[in-house]
Amino acid sequence: MPGRPTAETERRDQWEREGRWAAWIRNEAGDVSGWHHHAANETYVYVSRGTLTLNFGPGGGEAVVARGGDFIVVPAHTIHRETTGPDEDLEAFVIRIGGEPEHVNIAGPDAGP
């Protein structure tokens, strides 16, 4: 199930079982992923250090900012991208539950209504 992590991501897989996996990830300050979704997978993220901005919604115009100690959920099929804060590397624990594919790159979010 692990698939391709974002190119800038360092990932230390902890476990993987039948459509579920967990890993510690680290992204350098200022990293920006491409637009993507995780198909039928629910994603749970605990940020232990740094800042993570998750852009989503029509035109990518909505955002959630998670800082060290925050926990966020990314629902299945949510088109999004992640940006690491500019001043500090991000460290987070990620759990993904669902099925394959684990990571689907796309051109960008829908423009919305």
Check which CATH number belongs to the domain holding 62 and give it.
Answer: 2.60.120.10
**Is residue 105 assigned to a domain?**
no
Structure confidence at residue 19 (pLDDT)? 73
pTM of the model: 0.80
Which residues form the domain of 68?
10-99
**Is residue 41 assigned to a domain?**
yes
**Is residue 5 assigned to a domain?**
no
State the total domains in the chain: 1
Residues near 37 by beta carbon (within 8 Å), at least 6 away in sequence: 77, 78, 79, 80, 104, 106
Per-residue pLDDT of the chain (113 residues; tens, 9 = 90+): 333 444 445 555 555 667 788 889 999 999 999 999 999 999 999 999 999 999 999 999 999 999 999 999 999 999 999 999 999 999 999 999 987 667 788 888 876 65
